[in-house]
Structure 1
Amino acid sequence: MEKISGEEYAQYYQTYVSLVPEGDIIQVLTDQMKETVGIVSKLDDEQLSYRYATGKWSVKEVVGHITDTERIMSYRLLSIARGETSSLPGYDENAYVEEAGFDDIPVRDLIEHYVSVRLATIQLIKSLSKMALERKGTANGHPVSTRALMMIIAGHEMHHRNIIVERYLSKN
């Protein structure tokens, strides 16, 4: 995948986009899936429930958030790739996590959900034409391209997986 310009996404996403290595985005997403499953599946209940500070999400909630966000970004990707001209809505990530009850879901189910969403994202990306990959639309009031959405999905996961490793696993 070619480098994308900052004009293809809101500045807010720069942190995520900067984390994604150059190369085949399908391979990046596939490798990430294996790495994330490898990390999360080895954690015990205490580690999965750990919060590094008051008001912060548990590891289970972080995994659920990664999955929810990928589903939303994939919907945006699909919509824009198919030529949607309406502005796509934003979402409140904290409200989504609060309503989801991720802490009550067995970790194997959270992992299965994550993997199914990731595999669907990969299949979607594989199905896109060159023209679809060049389309731009609007999400959460900001311009965004399909190419940028692929990078945002990958970078968002990298960002949160780094937090899991640095703030949750190193302290627990």
Structure 2
Amino acid sequence: MILSSEYGSYYAKYVANVAGDDIAAALMNGLVSVPAFFEEIPTEKQEYRYAEGKWTPKEVLLHLIDCERVFMYRAMQIARSTNVHLEGFDQDEFVTNSNANARDMDSLLKEFIAVRTATIHFIQGCNDTMLLKQGRASDSPLSVRAAAFITRGHELHHLKIIKERYF
């Protein structure tokens, strides 16, 4: 069972979205369910904003990809180094500069699959000691396994928002 001491309190809402303790299985489930979800979004809704300043589904998908890369970079640093203290990042700046809406959904989904596949291989390659190893990121504690739980829970959070507010 993942402990609340492995991540900052801000991330509790994401970790709570992930059922069970097998994070590799949860990530593999997302490898199938996330592309299937985004493939069902009609072309005319892929660049829809439910309110001014809100992200489009394409921007949300690329945001998920970017966040997964950031969290897995953090996890790799923590797993392979000592005394890790990593800075945060500005998710809004990332989205603004992402060019997501100029891309087609197929290219975004291929990128998601590539990143998720790498994430699964990384997590499966970590032993229990590595998964429990902790560092600091964005001024909060972070274990390697918490980074993976946050990644999966974060995407589930955004899928729920899309279901509720975009359709």
TM-score range normalised by the length of the shorter chain: over 0.9
Unaligned stretches of 5+ residues in structure 1: none
**Which of these residues, 141, 154, 157, is aligned with residue 155 of structure 2?**
157
Unaligned stretches of 5+ residues in structure 2: none
Q: Which portions of structure 1, spanning 4 or more consecutive aligned residues, are displaced by more than 4 angstroms?
A: none
1:120 aligns to what?
A: 118
| TM-score normalized with structure 1 length | 0.93
Residue-pair matches, total: 167
| TM-score normalized with structure 2 length | 0.96
Q: Distance in 2 between the 1:116 and 1:101 partners? A: 19
Contact 1:70 1:117 in 2 (8 A): yes
Q: Which amino acid in structure 1 is aligned with residue 78 of structure 2?
A: I
**1:4 and 2:2 equivalent?**
yes
Report the CA distance between 1:132 and its aligned residue.
0.7
Q: Distance in 2 between the 1:56 and 1:21 partners? A: 28
Q: Distance in 2 between the 1:58 and 1:72 partners? A: 21
Report the CA distance between 1:73 and its aligned residue.
0.2
Q: CA RMSD in A?
A: 1.0
SS at match of 1:100: coil
Contact 1:83 1:135 in 2 (8 A): no
2:27 aligns to what?
A: 29
Q: Distance in 2 between the 1:111 and 1:99 partners? A: 18
SS at match of 2:124: helix
1:55 aligns to what?
A: 53
Contact 2:132 2:143 in 1 (8 A): yes
Q: Decide which moves more: 79-88 or 66-75.
A: 79-88
SS at match of 2:86: coil
Q: Distance in 2 between the 1:69 and 1:13 partners? A: 13
Q: Distance in 2 between the 1:149 and 1:105 partners? A: 28
Q: Distance in 1 between the 2:128 and 2:6 partners? A: 16
* Percent identity of paired positions between Structure 1 and Structure 2: 36
* Equivalent runs, 1:10-159 vs 2, <5 Å: 10-159=8-157
